[in-house]
């Protein structure tokens, strides 16, 4: 089951559609929005920016609104495990990640760095594609982000 919008609570602010990494939310400004269940990846990025908490996760539970950007989860790259493969920067819809060559290393290796944490929506596309498990979405306190609507286990 994909995420859903409660029509009675939706104010048409467009915050959810702007944050959706796969553009599965449609609707006009000040009108009720709709989530395409076939395109939704259950990331929860829409819910944490919804000021009226009108978005339900895959289990039918409302996703709590997180007011301040600094309180939202973001992707964290472990440079020790990162191979610099370019998959995650190419996939990131918000250009948060960039592959950078480490010129201080004798081998001049590449690693991925978070270059725009303020744009990260914690959609987890980068985490999902990383074969080295070098990217984890974390809360600001450093704990792993748990999104139960996605099927995470606590």
Of 138, 133, 69, 125, nearest in space to 97 by CA: 125
Q: Residues 83, 53: one domain?
A: no
What whole-number distance in Å separates Cα of residue 11 and Cα of residue 53?
10
pTM: 0.74
What whole-number distance in Å separates Cα of residue 106 and Cα of residue 52?
52
CATH code for the domain of 76: 3.30.70.20
pLDDT tens-digit series, residues 1-30: 689 999 999 999 999 999 999 999 999 999
Q: Residues 33, 90: one domain?
A: no
Are 42 and 150 in contact by the 8 Å Cβ rule? The answer is: yes
Domains of the chain: total: 2
pLDDT tens-digit series, residues 65-75: 887 877 888 99
Q: Whole domain around residue 5: which residue ranges?
A: 1-65
What whole-number distance in Å separates Cα of residue 21 and Cα of residue 46?
9
What whole-number distance in Å separates Cα of residue 40 and Cα of residue 149?
12
Mean pLDDT taken over the chain: 88
In a domain, 77, yes or no: yes
pLDDT tens-digit series, residues 86-128: 899 999 988 999 999 877 777 768 889 988 998 888 888 999 9
Instruction: State the pLDDT confidence band at 79, using cuts at 50, 70 and 90.
Output: confident
Q: For 124-153, what is the mean pLDDT?
A: 83
């Amino acid at each position: 089951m994909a995420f859903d919008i409660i029509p009675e609570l939706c104010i048409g602010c467009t915050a959810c559609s702007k944050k959706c990494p796969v553009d599965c939310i449609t609707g006009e400004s000040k009108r009720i929005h709709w989530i395409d269940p076939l395109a939704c990846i259950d990331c929860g990025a829409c819910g944490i920016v919804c000021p009226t908490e009108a978005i339900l996760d895959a289990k039918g539970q409302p996703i709590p609104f997180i007011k301040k950007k600094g309180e939202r989860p973001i992707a964290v790259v472990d440079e020790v495990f990162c191979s610099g493969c370019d998959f995650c920067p190419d996939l990131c819809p918000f250009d948060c990640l960039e592959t950078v060559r480490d010129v201080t290393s004798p081998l001049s290796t590449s690693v991925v760095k978070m270059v725009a944490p303020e744009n990260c929506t914690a959609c987890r596309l980068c985490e999902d594609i990383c074969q080295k498990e070098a990217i984890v979405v974390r809360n600001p306190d450093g704990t792993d982000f748990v999104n139960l609507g996605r099927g995470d286990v606590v």
